[in-house]
A and B are shown apart, each in its own frame.
Chain A
């Protein structure tokens, strides 16, 4: 197998936000050690939107958890904002996450006994906002996501798509430098997926760096860069072409054979 392709952004572009080098993770399982991540090198620049794709069991979720400090790598280095973080304690990671990393999960993981607004405000408060600032930020985010009327509701009363939008608001509450999204559409129907994807694209347009794990090519194609993970290793790292408008001409060239009408 060849090594990964060079990162999409040219040297001298925006500053490097996240760098992983030779990161591995080995789990102890019943049948002996299992390697989930086997030497991943990865660089993400500020404002970049990258997707990690791969078949299930390729280690993509584990990689994301390692990069967010939800578990400790077996070996390798992780640098965030120019600071080495792979050896940080659980507590130091927690403090780092408050301002620098937002997380979105497949199963939303909203705190079940708090209201929608409380979930979002809790994150803002963790980030050091005052009570008033937190309330304002929460109102602003919920309005943006079209969930203002659900502020007082319990998470369980919301649809999956709505819950994920709340989770997204919570993750973005502190304007983190990096948003980590683990299969954010994995548990949603197509309209729910669409709305979450649109929000991610919009956040990116506003300069948010996003690293997204998915097995869905359509979700991945929303990113400007797709990293293919295979068997715990990076198989490919590809920049995608920016789509243009009007798209007709470009799209016509891109139309695969299947689309042509027989005749």
Chain B
């Protein structure tokens, strides 16, 4: 034991760089995986994270006012804890001429133990701020409200009764996201509740945590029996909440999870390479340890313990890094809330355990192979190799620099290590190429919003102003290149209960410049274009007919093209406004879509219009998803960094192992007159050739996969194919040059040590 520890200590001290590299790779992979998994979790199954973060209740009951809830705890079997009862009342918030329904739930200034809202920003309720309320996060988004916003609350009679200020925004697992699940939730102090509903037209809500989460039905049955059927107005279970939260915006999660998975593959490869290479290089020492009395089992245990410890250090570092990065990164990804992106403990343990197992296996296999050999193989003196391969001889005779030819030949002498090295570098390179592709797609979208269907930089609602006044004002506004009148009509899908957004943008003669990726724009009445998302929902293709009911009037459209539009959940049908008039459908008031000149600032135009209309024109800027996706850039950069690290580790291993093998020829060649510089060059050439092959393979596969992957992602998002951009030539060239340079550099350092040994020393070694 003492001897084992002594050896491990000495080995770690002697190979600090390698040890640090292993720790860094493991840490990087752990960080990447934890963050990706959390994102995936947050994007695809936000309920899970929210439920554990808020210590949610499994069942929520809405009860008649004054119901005695004490029996729920005392008489209902299986209830372990209770939230509430809270007094609640229905209300609505008036915002942008629309009413959004709300439930006011009265709570005190202390957060409850279960069903505990998770503050995202601002503060919780406080007696010090009697008019302060806390909004549920998705409801706040729908209201465009943030901390500090002022809201007007109407009671059920439609009378404005209270003006409140948003003190905080919080997440909850009590109910699904707004507007899928309405009303939206507002936590208020009891005083506000009384102000809105002074007549006491309220109800009670109570949450139950139960012992066996799967068995909600019997608990509900008992509760209803105990409380009486008339007392229970409504019931919701965690299963319903979970279902309603599912699949909100899986795009990012999926993309990053994909990156995480491939990073895991690359990392396992890197770990196998790094630890395996380390073991391979020290076989002579391991044999000597056996002559000193180490049993094969001890040798293996020692290697596994050493690398296992490095692995654990990496895990710890990764865990810390993920913890530090998570709040900053995860909270900012649109559609994924920090609370939802909380990884369940089991998942984290699975990821950490899986990586540690990979490390242990990657060490144990070569370790066992090295330890099983009788030690004589390690201590038997190797006579200087006298043979010179035919190719080496040819290289000496040819005009090509012999070092290059020798290095190239040496690179492929041992197939398996060569393949491992190429694979170990090609896989990160594929992912780096794809990452750069995502990056340039973001660039493209950000600089040319028209490419993804966001031609209009501003939307203007005229409110109480007349069309003539508004048009006149807009035509004088600075930076405006073109104006289209547009109406937004919600249509109920035939035979379904969901609605879709349809847009009458411009006219058939003068259509709005949508980004058409298939077919053409509408040119006549009753022609329309649609997004991929809508085509998928309707199950139709370009060229087919669809019928849309507009307030009782059924309008038939021929879909003549597919467009890209990231708004309205990617489900949009667009046509000329004249179609509605022709069909006699009621046309709602129209707004103006303003297309700005290149380089014009939307903010300047917005401010100008608001000022000159005396605040009567409502001007909103179009939100570019790429601006919101800014955080993805950090993630891509982070993942590329991790991948580069993995590649670097593989290269270091390849160089070390390569030099060991290559020495045989070098001995003879030094004796024959190869200069130290040439020896170094041949060793560098050996690694560089492998790197070049790997980079070539990686970049080609990456480019091939890039557009496809981005289109797939865009399709999931409802955008459909057509926005994928390849990484720029210059970016790619720089990445390739860096990769090959790194390969050369990793070889130079150890090669110098061998290159400068005098020929006699090389022969004697």
Chain A residues within CB distance 8 Å of chain B: 61, 65, 68, 70-72, 90-91, 94-95, 97-99, 103, 105-107, 109-115, 118, 121-123, 125-127, 130-131, 134, 170, 182, 187
Contacts and interface: CB of A to CB of B under 8 A. Distances in A.
Contact of B381 (A107, A114, A170): A107
Contacts of B374: 70-72, 90
B292 A97 contact: yes
Given A111-B285, A111-B288, A122-B3, A127 B381 contact: no
A109 B293 contact: no
Interface string B276-313: 00000010110011111111111000000000000000
B764 interface: yes
A94 B764 contact: no
A70 B376 contact: yes
The 4 A-B residue pairs with the shortest CB-CB distance, nearest first, are A113-B14, A98-B293, A91-B295, A70-B376
Contacts of A112: 14, 285
B110 interface: no
A113 B3 contact: no
Given A70-B291, A170-B292, A113 B2 contact: no
Instruction: Output the residue of A65, A72, A106, A121 with the most chain B CB within 10 A.
Output: A65
A113 B11 contact: yes
Nearest to A121: B6
A151 B14 CA distance: 16
A125 B2 contact: yes
B402 interface: no
Contacts of B380: 61, 65
B741 interface: no
Contact of B292 (A65, A98, A107): A98
Given A113-B13, A125-B6, A71 B292 contact: no
B428 interface: no
B366 interface: no
B7 interface: yes
B566 interface: no
Contacts, number: 93
B379 A94 contact: no
Contacts of B296: 90-91, 94
B290 A114 contact: no
Interface string B1-22: 0110011001101110000000
Contact of A118 (B10, B372, B379): B10
Nearest to B1: A125
Given A70-B376, A111-B10, A127-B293, A106 B381 contact: yes
B290 A90 contact: yes
A115 B11 CA distance: 11
Which one of A70, A105, A123 has the greatest number of beta carbons of chain B within 10 Å? A70
Interface string B747-765: 0000000000000000010
B375 interface: yes
B10 A115 contact: yes
A90 B295 contact: yes
A113 B294 CA distance: 17
Given A70-B375, A112-B285, 15 more contacts: A65-B379, A65-B380, A70-B379, A90-B296, A91-B296, A97-B292, A103-B292, A111-B10, A113-B11, A113-B15, A114-B10, A115-B10, A125-B3, A126-B292, A127-B293
A110 B287 CA distance: 11
Contact of B293 (A97, A113, A134): A97
A126 B381 contact: no
8 contacts: A70-B291, A70-B376, A109-B284, A110-B288, A113-B14, A125-B3, A126-B293, A187-B764
A65 B376 contact: yes
Contacts of A70: 291, 374-376, 379
Nearest to A72: B374
B381 A122 contact: no
A122 B292 contact: yes
A193 B330 CA distance: 69
Given A107-B381, A112-B285, A126 B3 contact: yes
A13 B11 CA distance: 46
Contacts of B372: 90
A121 B291 CA distance: 15
Contacts of A105: 379, 381
A122 B1 CA distance: 11
A91 B375 CA distance: 11
A62 to B, nearest CB: 8
Interface string B464-486: 00000000000000000000000
A229 B285 CA distance: 30
A97 B374 CA distance: 14
A219 B378 CA distance: 25
Contacts of A61: 380
Contacts of A113: 10-11, 13-15, 282, 285
Contacts of A182: 379
Contacts of B289: 111
B289 to A, nearest CB: 7
Nearest to A106: B381
B296 to A, nearest CB: 5
Given A94-B290, A111-B285, A113-B13, A122 B376 contact: no
Contacts of B375: 70-71, 90
Nearest to B288: A109
A93 B538 CA distance: 77
A68 B292 CA distance: 11
A130 B376 CA distance: 29
A103 B379 CA distance: 10
Nearest to A174: B293
Nearest to B293: A98
A97 B288 contact: no
A127 B293 CA distance: 8
Contacts of A103: 291-292, 379
B55 to A, nearest CB: 51
A103 B294 CA distance: 14
Name the residue in A103, A110, A126 with the highest tally of chain B Cβ atoms < 10 Å from its Cβ.
A126
Contacts of A72: 374
Nearest to A92: B295
B292 A123 contact: yes
B375 to A, nearest CB: 5
Contacts of A122: 3, 6-7, 292
Contacts of A109: 284, 288, 291, 378-379
Contacts of B293: 94-95, 97-99, 123, 126-127
Interface string B370-397: 0010111011110000000000000000
Nearest to B298: A94
B291 A97 contact: yes
Query: Which of B3, B7, B284, B290 has most chain A Cβ within 10 Å?
Result: B3
